[in-house]
Chain A
Amino acid sequence: MSKTLLDINNLKVSFFTPAGEVKAINDISIRMEEGDVLGIVGESGSGKSVTAYSIMGLIPYPGRIVSGTIEFNGHKIHEMTEKELQDIRGNEVSIIFQDPMTSLNPVYTVGNQIQEVLFLHTKMDKKQAYERSLELLSLVGINEPERRLKQYPHELSGGMRQRVMIAIALACEPKLLIADEPTTALDVTIQAQILELMMELKKKINMSIILITHDLGIVASMCDKIAVMYAGKIVESGTADDIFYNPQHEYTKGLLKSIPKLNKKEHEKLVPIKGVPVDMLNPPAGCPFAPRCDSCMKICLRKMPEYTNISDKHICACWLLQKKGYEAATGGDR
Chain B
Amino acid sequence: MAANDNNILIEVKNLKQYFPVGSGLFANKFLKAVDDVSFYIEKGETLGLVGESGCGKTTTGRTILRLYEPTAGKIIYDGVDITHADMMPYRRKMQIVFQDPYSSLNPRMTVGDIVGEPIDIHKLAGTRKERTEKIIQLLECVGLNSEHANRFPHEFSGGQRQRIGIARALAVDPEFIVCDEPVSALDVSIQAQIVNMFEELQEKMGLTYLFIAHDLSVVKHISRRIGVMYLGKLVELAESYELTFHNVHPYTRSLISAIPIPDPAVSRKKKRIVLEGDVPSPLNPPSGCRFRTRCPYADKLCAEQEPELVEVSKGHFAACHHLDRVAD
From the candidates B188, B267, B275, name the one contacting A189 in the complex (CB within 8 A): B275
Tell me whether B7 is interfacial, beta carbon within 8 Å: no
Which A-chain residue is minimally distant from B50 (CB atoms)?
A188
Which B-chain residue is minimally distant from A224 (CB atoms)?
B264
A196 contacts B263, C-beta separation under 8 Å: no
Which B-chain residue is minimally distant from A193 (CB atoms)?
B274
B270 contacts A188, C-beta separation under 8 Å: no
Q: Which of B21-29, B98-106, B250-258, B306-314 contacts A (4 or more CB under 8 A)?
A: B250-258
Looking at the assembled complex, report how far the CB atom of A292 sits from the nearest CB atom of chain B, in whole angstroms.
8
Tell me whether A218 is interfacial, beta carbon within 8 Å: yes
Query: With A215-B260, A218-B260, A259-B262 in contact, is A272–B221 under 8 Å at CB?
Result: no
A258 contacts B188, C-beta separation under 8 Å: yes
A276 contacts B279, C-beta separation under 8 Å: no
Q: Which of B133-192 contact A (CB under 8 A)?
A: 157, 159-160, 187-192
Looking at the assembled complex, report how far the CB atom of A246 sits from the nearest CB atom of chain B, in whole angstroms.
12
Complex CA distance for A188 and B55, rounded to whole angstroms: 13
A257 proximity list for chain B (CB < 8 A):
192
A220 proximity list for chain B (CB < 8 A):
260-264, 266-267
B267 proximity list for chain A (CB < 8 A):
217, 220-221
Q: Which of B206-247 contact A (CB under 8 A)?
A: 214, 216-218, 220-221, 241, 244-245
Complex CA distance for A111 and B268, rounded to whole angstroms: 36
Query: With A159-B278, A187-B214, A188-B52 in contact, is A263–B261 under 8 Å at CB?
Result: yes
Which A-chain residue is minimally distant from B262 (CB atoms)?
A216
Tell me whether A261 is interfacial, beta carbon within 8 Å: yes
A263 proximity list for chain B (CB < 8 A):
261, 263, 266
For chain A, which range describes its interface: under 10, 10 to 19, 20 to 34, or 35 or more residues? 35 or more
From the candidates A191, A265, A272, name the one contacting B258 in the complex (CB within 8 A): A191
Query: With A220-B267, A272-B190, A272-B193 in contact, is A267–B261 under 8 Å at CB?
Result: no
Looking at the assembled complex, report how far the CB atom of A41 sits from the nearest CB atom of chain B, in whole angstroms.
9
Query: With A187-B52, A221-B270, A277-B157 in contact, is A262–B278 under 8 Å at CB?
Result: no
Looking at the assembled complex, report how far the CB atom of A311 sits from the nearest CB atom of chain B, in whole angstroms.
16
B214 proximity list for chain A (CB < 8 A):
187-188
From the candidates A189, A218, A273, name the one contacting B254 in the complex (CB within 8 A): A189
B260 contacts A221, C-beta separation under 8 Å: yes
Tell me whether A281 is interfacial, beta carbon within 8 Å: no
Complex CA distance for A269 and B214, rounded to whole angstroms: 20
B255 contacts A217, C-beta separation under 8 Å: no
Identify the A interface with B (CB < 8 A): 43-44, 157, 159-160, 187-193, 195-196, 214-218, 220-221, 240-241, 244-245, 254-263, 265, 267, 269-274, 276-277
Additional pairs, 6, CB under 8 Å, beyond known A258-B191, A265-B245: A43-B189, A157-B278, A189-B274, A221-B267, A244-B264, A245-B264
Shortest 10 CB-CB contacts between residues of A and residues of B:
A217-B260, A272-B192, A260-B221, A221-B267, A258-B192, A192-B258, A187-B52, A273-B189, A216-B262, A272-B193
Please, could you name 28 A-B residue pairs with CB atoms under 8 Å apart, sorted by A?
Answer: A44-B187, A187-B52, A188-B214, A188-B216, A191-B258, A191-B260, A193-B275, A196-B274, A214-B187, A215-B260, A216-B188, A217-B259, A220-B260, A221-B268, A244-B263, A255-B189, A258-B192, A259-B217, A260-B217, A262-B216, A265-B245, A270-B221, A272-B189, A272-B190, A272-B192, A272-B196, A273-B193, A277-B189
